[in-house]
A and B are shown apart, each in its own frame.
Chain A
């Protein structure tokens, strides 16, 4: 068994490393986007549509415009041109809501921005926004929760690619299902969910005539830069995006939303910096949400528990104009061995804001359905659910016909079983008790894609002995500053406190999105090659500077370790600090650029690359008061090499807590009459609070996946949320005898 190995050397990789930006955050010095202030700053507040379907007939801004302190009320006629962005090469130009704000008079979802009030104070802008009167011609919105796939061709355009709706197929799934001795045919529903990062979305836009500078709470500054250049017809280098700290995003900050060009357009018109902070209510309307999904899963198995057929047909909601793809089938085709398979999707348009990625898009709702079906099938077969999974473990990725780069799901299951004490489980529902409570035990496995976005980085070695690593990626609270510093420290051997990590600025080398759990894996090759190039420059100086102790040596005879240059055959005690070599040569710094290519979207990969894991869950149940609580979770994750176990554990624990919310609380409800997200506040949209957090026990296997990068690190941001809801619903069934197939599991479902 591979436990996490703390390197015997001074390597920072794999060391429990407190956040390098921690002190800034706990002392309040970390500046989040809305913390930036500028002279002459104006405040913008959008006016939102109060219908979900129809047209603007009349917009009366007269009263608002006359209010003291109001700079302007912008709308379609006076905001100036805002063009569309389109997808280009290299994951740039992406928007989930493709229609630029104010493009036409049609209202397609509740809360759509129809005007923008700008004033000298936030309060005035809000009062002015409230004073704008809008007349609509109104039609009944379609927010129907029952989903039937729209009539669409078999091949459809989606945000990243044109996709076949039958996304994977082998054998004859239907026939095999019909003939299967044991069959399961159930439909699972997940509701619309809203990401709700604690930090509100916000933009501060500054135009100096030629350059647009934008402070934005973003998970992808490089993409945002491209989008804005397209929207305002600017050379890319005339747009600068800055995101120093992000109070989390959960996917909602991956791609730009309409508030962002609105703030920029207002700043352009007014010639003054404009700040726009989206309200919590708008967070439910205009910055994306996880679509509702309805997933039919059909499983056929032999009596002894071998899967013979797997069919996964799912439908999800999209907004009227957009094409976000919720890939619920992402893991279905490879996760288990099954000869006959069919995975197909459809979409159902609704009068709702654009759907978007939310932590673990696709696989999280998808694996809720498939793993819940696996649990139900195990019950039908009277097989232990762990054993059922072991029986159907694939040898290769049967959908692509290629080997897995590194898959240790069986070991995850083994370790989880042991740590949880699973062998003591009694299968009968309601049969386990403790302290007067009924216990329910359930489990599920999980998987999440491992891939790389393109990434560039720069590393400098400086004559004061410090190292600077720079990359235009973001730290959305997950610890990317620390990872960058660890990677640079690994290559140069200087201690972490001598490494300066810089990110979140498009002036830096283009970095990856903080999404898909790919930021870490993507920056590894970029930072490593940048460091190699900087070190090569250093060696050049060491060997060429007159008077250098290494003068006349060849570069390849030298090496850099622990911040010192020395001859390979000698040990580091005999080395010379690189700072001394630089100073002696009168060189302030050496620099190296590095680059990593994308693997994401590769149509013919040599390996199937994913992370894996499993969750074991205990719930307590008190039927006398219909009280259900999650008391204990054991999660085992196989995510390659864990660069920072402290931050890694934190990610998994957070995902488990969020998964509890997905299983039991979270749901965005749309008013059937007017189409508004009706529980649009943190009081009415129930998320997990501290008191709900169970005892969480996280274990990592630590098998480096060298196919992905030199360190062997895959991502860990999302995998923890996959599967957990299915483990919880299985535990709920085990405790209560009630099978809930529509999330969240609510008190009313269990009262019967």
Chain B
């Protein structure tokens, strides 16, 4: 049944910019302070207070716009969005409306269904955040904390470009990656530094007109993005298949029940009466200001991925894993620059390093140079791959130079034929029937004997040398 329908989704993402102070006042933008302590006349909306914009917020916003391939307008206008809400002290939010900071960008992402797909970025504008309302702190009262009020945000609006909830989620992860790379935002949905609203509609496959759309709000974790959109899509299809019609309304997602319900506020509360904010002259950005932001933008994930494929002869998948996080990508390159083979280094980073990082708050505990040395020890035959993993774990835990650690652990491979012969003799003596079978032509048992020698040597035997000695001793 679902095959007969096409889903159309557009996303509006609010991202908190990484500044130390708020958008229009000098209050700290830090998360987690006691309630109403990061406040001043401006963000409290006291009579007579006026906004003054934060330069770094605008630098970050322009970097985001450039990173998303937008046209940054040299002249844009702050506008007031008027509505009443207890955590909105001025009765309006300073945002941008008719003349936003940037328009017409795009972001490519790897669609699970269509390969590389491109989302259009219709607009990107700057605005201030509202405060926080707590409804269950006191009985019959709502508690208001204005610490977050006035924190700088950008809103990034896509076209109706996503054809499945999964695609929408993939775009969002790609966007997050770009914004984290450029140090524009922490993109932490749980802390509210990235929030997303979605416009969802469905239509019959082949239809070109858009269906009635609803806006899905209150999706407050990456884990719920796909779920919330799927629930709403399925609800719309069910209504239409039941012969009903859809109302263009706002739906609130409830993660506890994994359901959506319509928001009850009245329609007229959406007449926001936007007009240019008379407290703020036009936002005029010089060519130099914009050019400077371009130079401060790091190489972004898509570019880096391409370069890794080309320069280090990696597969697209491996390059994608290595470039997903800027720190990991930088680390990988440092390992290669320290002399490690690119392919081997990639394997180490994708397995041991990422596994260790995952268990230790994303920390890269073994220095890039140390990992390069460790890889060198394996390549030179001093350590087996198995032994090297133990050395890695030890260095991660307690530090030290890989060679010293390997020696201290007694893991350096024994390449002395005399010592090896002893272990080989022991092994052959203990497995006489296998020796018989080998001699009768079952030569694939050689690997079994190598394994036994490694075991007897507790991993210290050089496996290649062990194989040679075995072949000699078993020769007819």
A binds B: no
